[in-house]
Amino acid sequence: MEWCTLVEAPDQLTAEFWLDILRQEGIPARLAPQDVVSYLGVAPFPCRLLVPQEVVERAAEVLADVGVALDFPIR
């Protein structure tokens, strides 16, 4: 399974919120490990949200439905 960046959230808290939205819709998602600083609490800097390549379009639709603006093309 190839994971790709769907969107870059402004901070870890926002990324965790979007991650939960996708998972509630049954879409596998995770945060880019290098963007998360768990031992210091929540990271105040940008955090990438990753999804499998085969569900990119569905994931983009789900986030767009809640008002998340995505930059395309997705990396």
pLDDT at 56 over 90: yes
- Express each pLDDT in 1-27 by its tens digit: 899 999 999 999 999 999 999 999 999
Please answer whether residues 62 and 21 qualify as being in contact, where contact means their C-beta atoms are separated by less than 8 angstroms: yes
Q: What is the pTM of this model?
A: 0.86
Fold exhibited by the domain 3-65: Alpha-Beta Plaits (3.30.70)
What pLDDT score does 35 carry? 80
Are 34 and 1 in contact by the 8 Å Cβ rule? The answer is no
Q: How many residues does the chain have?
A: 75
CA dist., res. 64 & res. 48, Å (int):
16
∠ CA 54-50-52, rounded to 5°:
15
Place of tokens 């901070």: 11
